Amino acid sequence: MLLSSPLTPLPFHHRHYHPHIHLHQNAHSITKFNTFSCLHETPQPHHHDPQDLSLRNHNSKSTALLLQRLSHLPNPNPSHLRQHPDPQPSGHKAKLLERSLLRKRTPQFPGSISLDSSSLTSLDDEDDEHRMIMRALDIRRKVTAEIFKEFMRTKGKFGITYATNLVETLTEFLDYVMVQAAAMKLSPEFSSSTYNFRAKTVIEDSEVVPCIRWLKHNSLSYPQIGKLICLSKGDIGSIRRLALWLKSIHVKGRFIGVALVKAGDHFLERSNEELDEIVEYLESNGVRRDWMGCVMSRCPQLLSYSLEEVKTRAGFYLDMGINDKDFGTMVFDYPRVLGYYTLDEMNQKVDYLKEFGLSAEDVGKLLAFRPQLMGCSIEERWKPLVKYLYYHGITRDGMRRMLIIKPMVFCVDLDKTIVPKVKFFQDIGIHDDAIGKMLVKFPPLLTYSLYKKIRPVVIFLMTKAGVSERDIGKVIALGPELLGCSIVNKLEVNVKYFLSLGIHLRVLGEMIADFPMLLRYNIDVLRPKYRYLRRTMVRPLQDLIEFPRFFSYSLEGRIIPRYKVLIENCINLKLRYMLASTDEEFEERVKVIVERRKRFESGVTSEDVSNSQTGDDDEFPVKGAMLDESESEVELTMFDDGESEAESTMLDDSDSEAEL
């Protein structure tokens, strides 16, 4: 019977059914090896077949060890030992013998490191030693993670999923716990304690679990909590201290984590006194105390700057003439303008804006009104926009006007916002040369939504206001301000009012094509003028249809005074000749008409009269000092807007807010 020790397996040619070595049962040759017994038999002669000697090299060491042991047994087989010499060096024999004599590993705490059989043969290799150390650290880190999870579940009452997700973000803090627990081994108090006990002590003393509970209660996500704990470098108390400070300046709970994480790696090391100095300086320059929470939560980078750096950045804007009030509203409106961009970027953008012909003070006013300009890239946004506007015939002066009136135009995306709108204007019949003039005239047009604002207004004008498809391009080109009016609160109300006067829908469309601004006036402004035209001036509705610009003139400033002059001189003029001229031209016109009438009444011959006419045949008074309005009309293409009623008092601009 052939028995072998489990620690020393036989090579393949010794485990054949016809083995080379036969051990006969002998009671005197029974020896004990560990817990196994070997019954040795005396070898019997046997002829070795060379083909049966198929050696297995990977068991050669154990074979040599077995043969060495068998050499001490009775009746060894020297010839067989000489036939299979030991191919291994003596050093390997010693290590293999040591490994074979290793007793069973005693139970140890989780994470302990023991030398297994696979690593004994590579202790002399430095790379393998480094690999073993890294493996040991990885095992110790996993053990620490399990200890931390268990501590969170038992002490913090956290769920398994939350604890697992959070621990995955705490790699640096787990390393801190490992280092501290290892250092505690040098203390006499913990010299005989296990690693698990020391790691639990470090976690409990740091009070990290109550801090996690408090941060979670303040709406911080576990990635934010994990990053904060790692940034604290073991000083967990600094997180609570600075979180309470942020609450004192009115930072809301859900933004505390964002402010703490984005404030910088060294923010947790700053004292409350340093941060209070920054807040006091901003408050002295117009940033109100109740605005600080909004400012710091939207631009936490301000918390990472020193007081000198904050003063330098604030002085950059104050030197451009921005007063404290405008500076405070600018920072509140767009906090990144103060703390996000570098000083070089800020200087480059200001210099580029000056190329449009703006002075430093103008740029300061522009940034105070629209600080979002500082967030735009020169290469990616401004230069492509300028090139596109120049292609549509807009000069530098026109761009400066657009920049002053609606600086938001330089903040919107060119391909997604401006190009589709220009393409839409081309589709409704507006010529390319008129598009540039239209944009310069009304820059807010480019900030309106194409599908929510522009298209609905165009559809309304064509379907409800009587504007034909042929005239819609003209209406939009002459009155782009209509696209900023509310359909329900402005356009529809005005259309109903004009229809109520007896004007047909088709005629109203022609009036709008002649004077698109007709739909922008308030009803309270239109009603008194129409009443005065019909009741006092006793003019027919046709006069209003022929000259819809009548509503653009001030009732008290122009219509009533000039009508009184006509009554005093017994003159009747068409509305366009009565209103569409300056005061000097109107007085000269009235004087000529009165003089001609006097000559006519004094018996001047018609030949003399014809020789004295200046070409205003339509103004020649008939007998009775009245003019015949059936004469040919003089088409006026220009009229004095300087004396017309200011649009700011007549137009409702409440609906002209920009829509992005």
Residue pLDDT, tens place only, 451-471: 999 999 999 999 998 888 898
pLDDT of residue 10 exceeding 60, the answer is: no
- Supply the pLDDT for residue 630: 33
- pLDDT value of residue 71: 62
Mean per-residue pLDDT for 427-437?
87
**Residues in a beta bridge with 36:** 33
Q: What is the mean pLDDT of residues 160-180?
A: 84
Rounded to 5 degrees, φ, ψ at 38 are -115, 125
pLDDT of residue 38: 36
Instruction: Identify the H or E element spanning 153.
Output: helix 126-155
Over residues 7-15, mean pLDDT: 41
Give the pLDDT band (50/70/90) at residue 653.
very low
Would the pLDDT of 531 be above 80?
yes
3-state secondary structure of 401: helix
Question: Span 375-391, mean pLDDT?
Answer: 88
Dihedral sign computed on CA atoms, order 334, 335, 336, 341: positive
Could you tell me the two tokens for 185? 């081994």
Q: Residues 197, 199, 200, 203: what is their CA dihedral angle, to the nearest 10 degrees?
A: 160
Stronger pLDDT, 237 or 125, i.e. the higher one:
237
**Pick the residue with more confidence: 113 or 386?**
386
Instruction: Count the Cβ atoms, other than its own, within 10 Å of residue 309.
Output: 14
Averaging pLDDT over each range in 176-190, 191-205, 382-396, which range is the top one?
A: 382-396
| pLDDT higher than threshold 80 for residue 556 | yes
φ, ψ of residue 212 to 5 degrees: the values are -60, -40
- What average pLDDT does range 140-166 have in this prediction? 84
Rounded CA separation 354/347 (Å): 11
pLDDT tier at 620 (50, 70, 90 boundaries)? very low
Q: Are 598 and 574 in contact (CB under 8 A)?
A: no
Query: Residue 266: pLDDT above 80?
Result: no
Higher pLDDT, 295 or 617: 295
Q: What is the pLDDT of residue 110?
A: 54
pLDDT confidence of residue 32: 36
Write down the H helix ranges in 370-447: 383-391, 396-405, 419-427, 432-441
| Weakest mean pLDDT among 111-115, 201-205, 320-324, 429-433 | 111-115
The yes-or-no verdict on residue 80 having pLDDT over 80 is no
Confidence band of 81 (pLDDT split at 50, 70, 90): very low
**What is the number of alpha carbons within 13 Å of residue 570 lying toward its C-beta?**
10
Predicted model pTM: 0.60
